[in-house]
Amino acid sequence: MPTSHQPDSSVFGEAMHFFDAAAQRLNLTSSMYRILTHPSRQVIISIPFARDNGEFEVYTGYRVQYSSARGPGKGGIRYHPNVTLDEVTALAFWMTWKCAVVDLPFGGAKGGVTCDPNVLSLSELERLTRRYAADLIEIIGPDKDVPAPDVNTNPQTMAWIMDTVSMHLRAHTPAVVTGKPLNVGGSRGRVEATGRGVMIAIEAALEKMNKSLKGMRVVVQGFGNVGSISAKLLSDAGAKIVGISDVTGGYHNPKGIDIAAALEHANKSAHRTLDGFAADRVSNAQLLELDCDILVPAALENQLTEKNARKIKASLIAEGANGPTTPEADALLSEGGITVIPDILANAGGVTVSYFEWVQNRMGYYWREKEVNDRLRDLLRENFDVVWDTGKEYGTTLRGAAYVVAIKRVVDAYMTRGIYA
């Protein structure tokens, strides 16, 4: 089997590392390997839009549809000055395996606009978003590609996209995007879904290890949507949260942190941060190395590296963020006997409830929050069991097993459908 054709310095090149290991375990043919290592479609568009002062700006937008073998593309749209085609391609690649590992009928996609949303007014953001959506109207849709919020985009962004597409098609089309506000077709439970999925994955792993969550000491890096909700739900389930962090640094209390108080403090802060919260201050780097049973990196990528992997004291890591562990660190953590629930499994709760939203939009019938949460738990636990058993079968880590399961499902779809050539 050939090795990755992507340069190691690229984001996509780094993403290929775990894929290559799983592809070798599955003995992929050279032909299938070539298909799976090329995105189906990469779109680059210029987005002219009017600023409030009448001047026009032109930003660059991207949409990458990596695979549609199992269904429409699925993946977020991010607004950030550092968005590149390489980054968006890598994220679409990851979404392909994330959807497959939890057995959703979606392929992988991702989008982005190279801009700084912090310098744009609300009306400018709306005009930018509507022009971006209009330029993508031929390639997105409920049966083609279904975007969602990502970095610096939110439910309002999705509402603008839905409205733009609906106006062009002259038809109400709520299933064109997910992550919408509730009053225009969003799903109950979507905001908490990723954090809830992290908790469900942790509970499933502990059950396999014959352990209980009650009393477990947990450190959560990141106090955004994923980190704060994970911390709250884990605390409610009986765990002791001994460390949390955000952009202002880390906060440590070995006796346990009152997460409800931390959330109240952050919500009252002018900048919605933990700055000034009553706890021992540590750096974000020190936070990762605190004495604990469970570590949840839910902030940025590449936080666990070969420099700190041997200093990690947790016995279980659940990756709430995308790509928080480098390949070098992953190997060292495995050598140290630390179980890692990989990002494509641990943080798949968000895309799972996005799938539920898409289903509800197409039915025109909306579920109660308890039903959403119960369906989420059932789906994640069922597929966690598949990954765990696959790890035992192949003698590999949960990450290796997750990629084996995901790749096999995509390959099976390709082989059943046949390759149109």
Same domain, 136 and 262: no
Q: Is it the case that residue 11 has pLDDT exceeding 80?
A: no
Give the number of other Cβ atoms within 10 Å of residue 160's Cβ. 20
Report the pLDDT value the prediction gives residue 16, as an integer from 0 to 100.
86
Same domain, 331 and 198: yes
Tell me which of 98, 110, 180, 232 is the catalytic residue: 110
Same domain, 124 and 153: yes
- Considering the domain boundaries, does residue 276 fall inside one? yes
Same domain, 66 and 198: no
Residues 251-303 have pLDDT tens digits of 999 999 999 999 999 998 777 899 999 999 999 999 999 999 999 999 988 89
Same domain, 162 and 208: no
Which structural domain, as residue segments, surrounds residue 134? 38-173
Report the pLDDT value the prediction gives residue 269, as an integer from 0 to 100.
79
Tokens, residue 327:
């390949």
- Considering the domain boundaries, does residue 205 fall inside one? yes
Report the pLDDT value the prediction gives residue 229, as an integer from 0 to 100.
96
CATH of the domain at 125: 3.40.50.10860
**Best CA proximity match to 109, nearest among 142, 84, 75:** 75
Q: Kindly state the average pLDDT of the residues 87-99.
A: 94
Report the pLDDT value the prediction gives residue 270, as an integer from 0 to 100.
74
Q: Is it the case that residue 12 has pLDDT exceeding 80?
A: no
Report the pLDDT value the prediction gives residue 10, as an integer from 0 to 100.
65
Q: How many domains does the chain have?
A: 2
Report the pLDDT value the prediction gives residue 300, as an integer from 0 to 100.
84
- Considering the domain boundaries, does residue 88 fall inside one? yes
Q: Kindly state the average pLDDT of the residues 204-217.
A: 97
Same domain, 135 and 262: no
Report the pLDDT value the prediction gives residue 60, as an integer from 0 to 100.
98
Domain end position, chosen among 341, 374, 404: 341
- Considering the domain boundaries, does residue 417 fall inside one? no
- Considering the domain boundaries, does residue 380 fall inside one? no
Domain end position, chosen among 322, 341, 360: 341
Same domain, 255 and 337: yes
DSSP assignment string, 203-251:
HHHHHHTT--STT-EEEEE--SHHHHHHHHHHHHTT-EEEEEEETTEEE
Domain end position, chosen among 326, 341, 356: 341
In percent, the amount of the chain with pLDDT more than 90 equals 91
Report the pLDDT value the prediction gives residue 7, as an integer from 0 to 100.
42
CATH of the domain at 207: 3.40.50.720
Identify the burial level of 337 via C-beta atoms within 10 angstroms of its C-beta, where 0-12 means exposed, 13-18 middle and 19 or more buried.
exposed
Mean pLDDT of the chain, nearest integer: 94
Same domain, 108 and 244: no
Report the pLDDT value the prediction gives residue 4, as an integer from 0 to 100.
44
- Sheet arrangement for strand 145-149: 41-50, 56-67, 108-114, 73-80, 145-149
Q: Kindly state the average pLDDT of the residues 383-388.
A: 98
Q: Kindly state the average pLDDT of the residues 228-232.
A: 97
Same domain, 228 and 162: no
- Considering the domain boundaries, does residue 229 fall inside one? yes
Same domain, 209 and 130: no
Report the pLDDT value the prediction gives residue 9, as an integer from 0 to 100.
52
Q: Is it the case that residue 1 has pLDDT exceeding 80?
A: no
Tokens, residue 107:
């392929």
Report the pLDDT value the prediction gives residue 345, as an integer from 0 to 100.
97
CA distance 251 to 268: 17
Q: How confident is the model at residue 212 (pLDDT cuts 50, 70, 90)?
A: very high
Q: Kindly state the average pLDDT of the residues 196-205.
A: 98
Same domain, 129 and 98: yes
Same domain, 216 and 326: yes
- Considering the domain boundaries, does residue 1 fall inside one? no
**Best CA proximity match to 36, nearest among 47, 52, 21, 20:** 20
**Rg value, the chain, Cα:** 21
- Would you call 110 a catalytic residue per the annotation? yes
CA distance 165 to 133: 7
Q: Is it the case that residue 2 has pLDDT exceeding 50?
A: no
Q: Is it the case that residue 15 has pLDDT exceeding 80?
A: no
